[in-house]
Each structure stands twice: as structure tokens, then as C-alpha cells.
Amino acid sequence: MKLNAQRSIVLGSALACLAMTGLGFSQLQASGPSQTLALQDRADEPEPIRLGHGYERRGDFIYFNDERIDQAGRADLHRFEQRLGRRVQPANDIDVASFEVLSEQYTKDEFAVYYKWISPGWYCIVEIVGADPATFEALDLDLARDARHVFRADEIFPAADPATAEVVTPNFVWRDRNTVYYNHIPMENADPKTFRHLDQAFYRDEDDVYWGFTRLTGADPDTFRTFGDVPY
């Protein structure tokens, strides 16, 4: 009854305004009392709190690009899992009060850590099983760690050392105390202690020079020079 009364007041006010401006009831039907009510409903929404990277807290829910993250992508989730070749755990029971944005892809609350799988026109927030929210930190776009593990996207990256994991070149190269990884593939014989970036996709360690993943046979790291953006 209270809602109906509010709608009558809104509709009556709209009619009065239209009468003063010379518009008829048919025009009100065309533009619609529903539009007026929609504007009123939006006005009643809590002021969004921007959390960064497109996330917002609105009342009891978290949104990304105007869509609730606990609902986004569910209709196409099975199809995505088929392409991925494994099951994922959609984010449920998100603790809105403690929700925190760590990076473009990684978020967490007091109880869980989340990763955002995204493709054009679609995304889904999934829980990272086995991640510790208290010690979790994002290192790169799809690289993260906690006190016990290194993570690639939403999966544990086995054998990597979380204490020494660090980014060498964003989105491409990282290392720990034992291994250098190029696109998450171990670079055989590369020395993580002396490995460093030069220019473009050139790298070196104590003994060798690399172009991306490829070791440049015969190149002398002590005299090797690059020329900025020139590919020589």
C-alpha cells in the first residue's frame, strides 16, 4: 500500500507538471511513468563507494562495471569451463565489508581470495582455492603469492618459491631463487641470481644473452649492448 501511494504521488506530480507545460497524457504514456519511477529508484540507491579498477561497493553488494560480481558470468560458466578444461569455483558469500581490490584481476575479503576471468563482453569472479587472504598479494596481472604458494591466475603454481618470487618484466618474465620463468615456462639454464632485463626482449645473466625465451648462442654478456628501441 505504501509503494502504491508513492507511485500515485509521483504520477500525480508528473501529470501536474505536464499540464503546466501543455503536454497531454498520451505523451506521458510514451515517455512513461516507469521512467520516472526508475529515476526515483536510482535516487534511493546508496552512494557507491569506488574501490578501484572498476569495482564499487553499493550497499550489501560489490559491483564491477555495473554488474554484481556474485552473479556475473554464471549463465556462460559451463561453456567457459569446457574451454578452460577444468572446473572453477564461482565466488559466493562475498564479505562485502572486508572486500578489498588488490589489482585488476585479484581481490579478496577476510575469508577468501578471488580472481577475475575476463574476455570481451564477459567476466566471472572465481574463488582461489587454497589461498590465504591474510598473506595474499598480487605480483602481476596473473601472478600472485601468499605465505605458502605462488599462484598463476586462480591455480597454485607448483614448485615455485613464494618467499623469493618477483617480477622481472611485467606480464612476461618472473623468477624465484631457483628458476626464471618466461610466460610461466621455465627457462632452462638461466641463472635467477644474475638474470636481468636489458631492452625490448633482450635479457642476460652471468653467462648468456637471451632474446625472449631463446638463448643467443655465442653472444658475450660482458660486451653485449642494446640500442634502445632499435632491434639490434
Give tens-digit pLDDT for 148-165: 999 999 999 999 999 999
Q: Which helix (H) or strand (E) holds 180?
A: strand 180-182
Helix-strand-coil split of the chain, %, nearest 5: 25, 30, 45
Residue-wise pLDDT for 64-109, tens only, equals 999 999 999 999 999 999 999 999 999 999 999 999 999 999 999 9
Instruction: Assign 227 to helix, strand or coil.
Output: strand
Q: What is the pLDDT of residue 60?
A: 95
- What is the tens place of the pLDDT at every residue in 178-195? 999 999 999 999 999 999
Q: What integer best gives the mean pLDDT of the chain?
A: 86
Under 8 Å between Cβ of 152 and 167: no
Place of cell 506530480: 13
pLDDT band at 35 (very low <50, low <70, confident <90, very high): low
pTM above 0.85, yes or no: no
CA distances from 197 to 60, 72, 138, 169 (A): 45, 39, 21, 7
